[in-house]
């Protein structure tokens, strides 16, 4: 057994030194180094008694598991996870306080327990922030108190280890990882050293036992996961819960070892908890947006595996102080500035003396590259004060040379636009070799091909059907 030696660990950043220093050389904080015993070599307390391979194996001789994913019973959560929870996976979910992380996971835990029963093992919900009575009140409100969940309200890893060894649960939810205390990592919860120790131990236990672990994390003012940013490489998936100005909640994956990260789960907060928004419909459009005012254009955006028709809103006003600024929190500021520069270069529309405001109705954050052309149409409409004709929307990626580049999932975009009642979709050529400005009929909607930005703007504002 390796001899344990004393180390001095910074309670702020987790930096280790062999001797005490007044100032931490890593983060610069004063009087934060505390004496602790170094961790023992070998497996952590949760892994004692579990066998681990000590020799390498040929990849061709390793059998890959064929077990299906564990469904959480919540379709939008499964969508963000790529289809459900994989065996032996660890998931980190972050979000602002009060956004609904605990509510969502309590609903998911009850649904898993009801669907699987005790066949695959119990479900354990660990809370380091709330009392059992508080969680029971939430369960009564969500009408899930009848589920046979195992509840453990503690922040001490020694107690959690004992309960995991006794129950052998199939799913473990820890709310939140910042409150957990492992004695070997110090006495102060929430430090980077504590979070790394707890996350590593639970992730190794999950992989070894084949169970699923979900960790809840807080976020900073910038929307990044607080503290656990350094442990994202330890987990298999990272989900961020975002909130718009309305009751909409968006669950988006920023890392997923077992699926795509483009998927977005959409929820609404109701009195009975989070409800799935499986058919967004006109949530992102508003009433009769087939005839929008100046500065507004609709766009079919591909998010994950579905198309959402969203409303792009643009406003330009004279710059104050002679310095133009761009305000956009749902579309990247740099993309807005780039599209404005393309319009100024190839159409001669000046934005250098204008403040630009861009918004997406419903508050969803758009990452699809096909948002370039509708953003350009909205900026042109706002700058010129011209309204789009009825039933027109746009899609396409813009190059710096003013070209409208092809986009993926053309058929799905056309279908979504047609379902919303639109008549014309201005976009890039579809590879048919036809000249710019040609129209192709697809059902009740026409795809208007425009290879360059000037032609796209002209076709978008054309009154011809």
User: Which residues are part of a known binding site for ATP?
Assistant: 95-102
Q: Are 310 and 284 in contact (CB under 8 A)?
A: yes
Give residue 402's region: left, alpha or beta (phi > 0; psi -120 to 50): left
Token readout for 347 is 């159409």
End-to-end Cα spacing for the chain: 81
Residues 406 and 451: their CA atoms lie apart, in Å, by 9
Q: Are 327 and 357 in contact (CB under 8 A)?
A: yes
Q: In angstroms, what CA-CA distances link 256 with 84, 200, 232, 266?
A: 11, 17, 11, 18
The torsion angles phi and psi of 95, rounded to 5 degrees, stand at 180, 165
Residues 92 and 63: their CA atoms lie apart, in Å, by 27
The 3-state DSSP class for residue 401 equals coil
Residues 431 and 447: their CA atoms lie apart, in Å, by 12
Residues 326 and 375: their CA atoms lie apart, in Å, by 13
Cβ neighbours of residue 178 closer than 8 Å, sequence gap 6 or more: 189, 190, 195, 217, 218, 226, 227, 228
Binding-site annotation: residue ranges: 95-102
Cβ neighbours of residue 122 closer than 8 Å, sequence gap 6 or more: 113, 148, 149, 150, 167, 169, 170
| Contacts of the segment 337-343: beta carbons below 8 A, 24+ positions apart | 338/400, 339/372, 339/375, 339/376, 339/379, 339/398, 340/379, 341/400, 342/376, 342/398, 342/400, 342/402, 342/453, 343/376, 343/379, 343/380, 343/453
Token readout for 355 is 């403040």
445 bridge partner residues: 442
Q: Are 203 and 235 in contact (CB under 8 A)?
A: yes
């Amino acid at each position: 057994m390796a001899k344990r030696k004393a180390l001095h660990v910074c309670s702020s950043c987790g930096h280790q030194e062999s001797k005490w220093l007044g100032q931490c050389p890593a983060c610069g904080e004063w009087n934060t180094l505390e004496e602790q015993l170094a961790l023992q070599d070998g497996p952590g307390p949760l892994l004692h008694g579990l066998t681990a391979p000590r020799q390498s194996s040929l990849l061709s001789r390793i059998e890959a598991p064929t077990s299906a994913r564990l469904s959480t019973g919540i379709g939008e959560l499964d969508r963000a996870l790529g289809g459900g929870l994989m065996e032996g996976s660890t998931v980190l979910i972050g979000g602002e306080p009060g956004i609904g992380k605990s509510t969502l996971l309590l609903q998911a835990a009850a649904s898993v327990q009801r669907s699987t029963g005790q066949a695959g093992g119990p479900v354990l919900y660990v809370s380091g922030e709330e009392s059992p009575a508080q969680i029971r009140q939430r369960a009564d409100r969500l009408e899930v108190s009848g589920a046979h969940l195992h509840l453990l309200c503690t922040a001490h890893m020694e107690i959690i280890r004992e309960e995991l060894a006794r129950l052998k649960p199939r799913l473990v939810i820890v709310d939140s990882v910042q409150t957990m205390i492992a004695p070997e990592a110090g006495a102060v919860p929430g430090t980077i050293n504590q979070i790394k120790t707890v996350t590593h131990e639970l992730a190794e236990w999950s992989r070894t036992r084949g169970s699923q672990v979900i960790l809840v994390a807080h976020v900073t003012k910038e929307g990044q996961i607080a503290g656990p940013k350094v442990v994202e490489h330890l987990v298999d998936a990272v989900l961020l819960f975002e909130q718009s100005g309305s009751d909409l909640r968006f669950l988006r994956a920023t890392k997923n070892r077992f699926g795509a990260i483009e998927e977005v789960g959409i929820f609404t907060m109701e009195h009975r908890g989070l409800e799935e928004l499986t058919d967004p419909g006109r949530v992102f459009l508003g009433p009769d947006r087939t005839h929008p005012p100046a500065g507004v254009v609709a766009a079919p955006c591909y998010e994950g595996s579905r198309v959402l028709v969203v409303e792009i809103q643009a406003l330009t006003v004279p710059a104050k102080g002679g310095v133009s600024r761009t305000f956009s929190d749902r579309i990247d500021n740099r993309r807005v500035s780039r599209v404005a520069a393309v319009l100024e270069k190839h159409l001669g529309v000046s934005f250098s003396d204008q403040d630009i405001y861009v918004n997406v109705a419903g508050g969803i954050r758009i990452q699809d590259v096909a948002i370039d052309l509708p953003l350009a149409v909205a900026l042109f409409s706002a700058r010129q004060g011209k309204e789009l004709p009825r039933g027109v929307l746009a899609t396409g990626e813009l190059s710096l040379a003013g070209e409208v580049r092809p986009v993926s999932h053309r058929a799905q975009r056309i279908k979504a636009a047609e379902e919303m009642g639109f008549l014309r979709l201005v976009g890039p050529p579809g590879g048919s070799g036809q000249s710019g400005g040609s129209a192709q009929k697809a059902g009740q909607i026409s795809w208007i091909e425009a290879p360059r930005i000037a032609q796209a703007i002209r076709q978008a504002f054309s009154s011809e059907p």
